[in-house]
Amino acid sequence: MCLQEPNRRKLALPIYNHFLLTEAQREPIEVVLVSPRNPLNIGAAARAMANFGFSHLTVVAPYEEHWREAKSAVGASDLLQNAKRVESLAGAVADCTLVVGTGTLQHRRPEQPVIPLPELAPFVGAELDRSGRVALVFGPEKRGLTREDLARCHVLVEIPTHPRQPSMNLGQAVAVCLYELAAQRIPPQRPAQETRMEPQPSNSDTDDAAPASMRDLELLARVVAETMQAANYSPAAMQKANRHDLDLLLRRLKLERRDARRILGLFRRILWRLKH
């Protein structure tokens, strides 16, 4: 039986594309690959990003130098060419306010909160509502993210896998996480006409009320650690462990930028007193 013309037009529409995030929602989200070994996996990750409309890719200390020419980046070669290359995870996430590590709990005991993959979208959505920037961090193929890497993450999202093969290919892991963001449909921000009715704070107030970035937390952690050292808080052998615990603590606090600055000023004053 022939379809009527209106029904035929309806079926011709790409009915699944409305699940994708808006450009405004995708823009603050960064995909970070830490020390990837195989350029083909980097290309596959870029292709997955292109599938779901994401464009911000950062590669941390890649093993191979010619990863930008990966043939697996079908339809995403420009994404590889424009990707940022940095030497440390700290540099990759400096401007982010929420860092989400990914992996399996098969062989690790997490030290930060763990969220199941289906809860990733609302978690990210809440951060976008705070005008934050989000980094999804994926570890190298052989070992995943290290304990030191995870200390820079606010949460760990667990990708459920079977015990027979707990690890997932890097490109597949990126695709699964980005699909989850699209499938869960993060609610869009209110239209501009709704927000224009409300009084807008000054730029300085807005900046102070914003969530603290990783750069803010790194500076605060460095000054606190220096203060602990000046106060002879613990033996030199414990300084690395103390810094690790401090990094985890600061991320759990979910500080606003103004609070981070107040605490920073306090510890700078204490440090000055200790040194003089």
Burial class (CB in 10 A: 0-12, 13-18, 19+), 8: exposed
Q: What is residue 15's predicted lDDT score, i.e. its pLDDT?
A: 53
Q: pLDDT (tens digit, 0 to 9) for every residue of the chain, 276 residues total? A: 444 444 444 445 455 566 678 888 899 999 999 999 999 999 999 999 999 999 999 999 999 888 999 999 999 999 999 999 999 999 999 999 999 999 877 667 778 889 999 899 999 999 998 889 999 999 998 888 988 899 899 999 988 888 888 788 999 999 999 999 988 766 655 443 343 344 444 455 556 678 899 999 999 999 999 999 999 988 888 888 889 899 889 988 888 999 999 999 999 999 999 988
Q: What is residue 107's predicted lDDT score, i.e. its pLDDT?
A: 67
Burial 41-62 (b: 16+ CB within 10 A, else e): bbbbbbbbbbbbebbbbbbbbb
| DSSP classification of residue 17 | G
Please state, as a whole number, how many other Cβ atoms lie within 10 Å of the Cβ of residue 183.
13
Q: Which two tokens stand for residue 201?
A: 């704070």
Give the whole-angstrom CA distance, residue 116 versus residue 155: 10
Please state, as a whole number, how many other Cβ atoms lie within 10 Å of the Cβ of residue 90.
16
Give the whole-angstrom CA distance, residue 117 versus residue 112: 15
pTM recorded for the entire structure: 0.79
Beta carbons within 8 Å of 31's beta carbon, 6+ residues apart: 45, 49, 54, 56, 57, 58, 135, 136, 138, 174, 178
- Nearest Cα residue to 139 out of 252, 23, 60, 230: 60
Give the whole-angstrom CA distance, residue 186 versus residue 276: 52
Beta carbons within 8 Å of 122's beta carbon, 6+ residues apart: 184, 186
